[in-house]
Structure 1
Amino acid sequence: MEQQDYRFKIAHREALIGVGLALFNFVWWFGFAYGLGSQDVSDYQYVFGFPAWFFYSAIVGVVIMAVLVFIVVKFFFVDVPFDEEVEDAS
């Protein structure tokens, strides 16, 4: 039986990390956008001139995701070669 290439295991793990980051981003955005944004407009609080729900969901969310993606790529992703492995003919 042929052994599976080690790069598939690395790619699978990194894909799951990417899906986890995307889910975290959606939950963050949805929680703040609909959690703080579902009240009456006259009751909104403002941060730097933006409604709090928008500031936390869109602006802070982008900053947090950029930091998380940087950390994940720097410390959890590994560089793998894409060229074909050459079998030893001897």
Structure 2
Amino acid sequence: MENKDKTDWRFKVANREALIGCGLALLNFVWWFGFAYGMGSRPVEEYSYILGMPDWFFYSCVVGFLLITALVIFVVKVFFKEVPFEEEEELR
């Protein structure tokens, strides 16, 4: 049985990066939902249009996509580490 103190350091890195990924996915959903249902629940007559699209669609889908894409690129470059896949030889 493996000792908890000897857990591979790569699991800590992977868990942290997975939590960051889940946070980004949650942020993306909240952004999309907020604009799509917040602004999109108005009567159609009250919609304003940006580039021929309803404003709620433009902000939720177009701006949201660009924002999350930029955020993912930033997070990967700044917070993610490259880890080797090869198993480390145990010291004897």
TM-score greater than 0.5 by the shorter chain: yes
Alignment of 1:1-90 (within 5 A): 2=3, 3-89=6-92
CA drift at 1:85: 0.8
User: Unmatched 5+ residue regions in structure 2?
Assistant: none
Aligned counterparts of 2:26 and 2:89: Cα–Cα separation in 1: 38
- Structure 1: which 4+ aligned runs deviate by more than 2 Å? none
**SS of the counterpart of 1:22?**
helix
Query: What TM-score, normalized by structure 1, do the two folds share?
Result: 0.95
Deviations 1:41-81 (A, max 9, x none): 01101111100000000000000011000000000000000
Query: What TM-score, normalized by structure 2, do the two folds share?
Result: 0.93
**SS of the counterpart of 1:19?**
helix
User: Unmatched 5+ residue regions in structure 1?
Assistant: none
Deviations 1:11-45 (A, max 9, x none): 00000000000000000000000000000001101
Query: Structure 1: which amino acid aligns with 2:30?
Result: V
Cα RMSD, aligned residues only: 1.0
Of all paired residues, the percent bearing the same amino acid is: 60
